[in-house]
Amino acid sequence: MASSSLVSVSSLNTKIKSLLETTFMHISLEGEVASLTYHTSGHLYFSVKDADSSIRCVMFRSNASKMKFRLEEGMHIVIEGSVSVYVPRGEYQFYALSIEPYGQGALALAYEQLKKSLEAKGYFDTSKKKQLPRYINSLALVTAKESAALHDMLKIAQKRWPLLDVTIVDTLVQGEQAPMQIAGAIKKADTLGVDAIVVGRGGGSIEDLWAFNTEEVADAIFNAVTPVVSAVGHEVDVMISDYVADLRAPTPSAAMEMILPSKEDVAISLDERFDAIRRVTDDKISNYERSLVHTKEMLVHLSPHKQIDEILSRIEDIKKEFVFTAGKIFSYKQREIDEKNEALNDRIARLIAQKDMVFKNALDSYLAGEPRKRYADGWAKVRVDGKISRLKKIKKGEKFTLEDADTLLDVACLSKKEF
């Protein structure tokens, strides 16, 4: 058996580490992410695999913090880095320096990931958008103090609405520190009591504008009490801040055109409102005049003298009406009395006539009962055998007596003729 050199485990692992690091430096590795862990230290631990194999990977916090997108399991990526050995365990792994989505830019992926996340949180809901005032009197501009975008915005603001009170909140608008500065500037502007906040900068590359595609800026815009206008880049540039803001302007200059009234338009509007107010005022004055005239008439009508005159006039009318009515009643009653008097006289006359007749009949009866007056001349009582009889019953040749008041005759019927 041939002799071999004796080495320790640590020495062997160290030699392997040196060999791998010199052989596999600055390589690009393609594969699918698996077993992903975001460690509390900020380091990333994961594996990259293909159909037949896998390799462990690590990205330390210093590099992981620079990533624009969030790594997810199953994502197809390209890693730049090197292979090395972790000597204590004798395990080799890939040390990632940068990671890019396969076939897609990191910024584009980060943009879509953040957009999807914020949309799920309700940052884009139109129901949560704040309404900007129709007339803005005070405005905070969150932008770089010496930028061309600020110059353009101030120029247009002076032209359209010179009365505007502008507060400039200076901030970086690009670079690694820009997101935190922009978020802080928005929070500061939100405490100024202005009518609106414009967050803006001029055009540039996607990298230059990237600060407005960050979660820090999105949070500051969404949580602001003051309405926020996003005016970043050119019209074709659509930032995350545009989705979150209460109003999106295609450019900083356009933001001023959109939110500030034109002094000429305001002048015309004031003239129209003045005319409308004058018409309303004239109508109100006319209504008040009519009301005053009516009130005056009512006061005159309700005054004591007027009421006394009306009462006296009414009393006079009542007197006349009473005299007229009493005259009519008197005439009616007089006619009624005359008619009743006449009827009474007629009735009395009839009663007198009736009583007179009764009296005469009674007198006749009385006189008829007196022996000397019982029979009138030419009349006598007929008796047959002492009984009163009628001449019609006496027969020819029959004897009877005739008796008047003072004479009694015995006679006989010589002849008889009936009528």
> Going residue by residue through the chain (419 aa), what tens digit of pLDDT does each one get?
455 678 788 888 788 878 777 777 788 888 888 889 998 988 999 999 888 888 899 999 988 888 888 888 888 888 888 888 888 888 888 999 988 887 667 777 888 888 899 999 999 999 999 999 988 999 999 999 989 999 999 999 999 898 899 999 999 999 889 999 999 999 999 999 999 999 999 888 888 899 999 999 999 999 999 999 999 988 888 899 999 999 999 999 999 999 998 877 777 777 788 888 888 888 888 888 888 888 877 777 777 777 787 788 888 888 888 888 877 887 777 787 778 888 888 888 888 888 888 878 777 776 665 555 555 667 788 888 888 888 888 888 888 888 877 788 888 888 888 77
3-state secondary structure of 284: helix
Helix residue ranges, H only, 161-262: 178-189, 215-223, 240-244, 252-259
Homologous superfamily of 9-104 in CATH? Nucleic acid-binding proteins (2.40.50.140)
Q: What is the pLDDT of residue 375?
A: 55
Q: What is the pLDDT of residue 142?
A: 96
Q: What is the pLDDT of residue 377?
A: 67
Q: Note the pTM of the prediction, 2 decimals.
A: 0.52
Q: What is the pLDDT of residue 297?
A: 77
Burial of residue 178 (CB within 10 Å: 0-12, 13-18, 19+) is: buried
Query: HSE of 171 in the Cβ direction (CA atoms, 13 Å)?
Result: 30
First to last CA, the chain: 213
Q: What is the pLDDT of residue 279?
A: 87
Q: Could you count the other beta carbons within 10 Å of the beta carbon of residue 416?
A: 12
Alpha carbons 375 and 381: distance in angstroms, whole number:
8
Q: What is the pLDDT of residue 366?
A: 66
Q: What is the pLDDT of residue 292?
A: 85
Q: What is the pLDDT of residue 370?
A: 57
Spatial strand order in the sheet of 381-384 = 387-388, 381-384, 399-403, 408-412
Q: What is the pLDDT of residue 376?
A: 60
| Token pair 């090395």: residue | 84
Domains of the chain by residue range: 9-104, 112-125+133-261, 381-412
Spatial strand order in the sheet of 247-248 = 165-170, 138-143, 196-201, 228-232, 247-248
Residue 365 is encoded by which pair of tokens?
Answer: 């009866």
Give the fold, CATH level 3, of 112-125+133-261: Rossmann fold (3.40.50)
